[in-house]
Amino acid sequence: MLNENKTGPALLGEKFPEMHAQTTMGPINLPIDSEGKWMVLFSHPADFTPVCTTEFVAFARRYKDFANINTMLVGLSVDQVFSHIKWVEWIKTTLHVDILFPIIADDLGHASQRLGLIHPGKGNNPVRAVFIVDPHGIIRLIMYYPQEIGRQTDEILRALKALQAADKHKVALPENWPANELIGAKAINLPPKDIDTANSRLAQNEGFDWWFTTKEIE
């Protein structure tokens, strides 16, 4: 069941749409069940497909990394729950990897349609998408991938850590933080809001110009 008060796909900065669904670990009620935590919800085109299998193994092997930064993982596809269960069983038996996060069985496609995951040129299977949702249920990042290209799980983890650091320190973060080619692990100060602050910015901070100053963060 989804919130029908809004039309169109979910967007950055919006509340994650209400969703009541069956998963491999029982019913889930989002975003209520993720309240107080970060959530990474990721869709996959289909169970028992090679690219999706490699992705699930990567997420599973980094499960503790996500859990250690207060983040829950949730998978989703239009397969029925018995297919998810059998696929999880196959991954454990054949690849010796435990899938410790729930997978939503969106067999009617309602959630996928609401989240904008069904590409008209790709049949009824959802595209590969990632939604990072903050502890208040707000969508903070969306990534889309075509069906033929697998995701880079470490980049999702990096982006999540960057969002958490940006919120904590009230800063912006550079390309590939914390390993940026120009400023390394430093953060970027938010833009000044008046002329006096702009004129004093370089005197009080390191940087290249008043609009590009940096600071150390934990």
What is the set of active-site residues?
A: 52
Query: 11 near 19, Cβ under 8 Å?
Result: no
Separation CA 117–CA 129 (nearest Å) = 7
Preceding omega of 31 cis (within 30 degrees of 0): yes
Query: 94 near 130, Cβ under 8 Å?
Result: no
CA distances to 67, 87, 157, 203 from 52, rounded to whole Å, are 21, 11, 18, 51
Query: 148 near 50, Cβ under 8 Å?
Result: no
Separation CA 74–CA 39 (nearest Å) = 7
Would you give the distance in Å from CA 43 to the centre of its chain? 10
Residue 198 is which amino acid?
A
Tokens representing 100 are 């410790």
Total H helices, total E strands in the chain: 6, 10
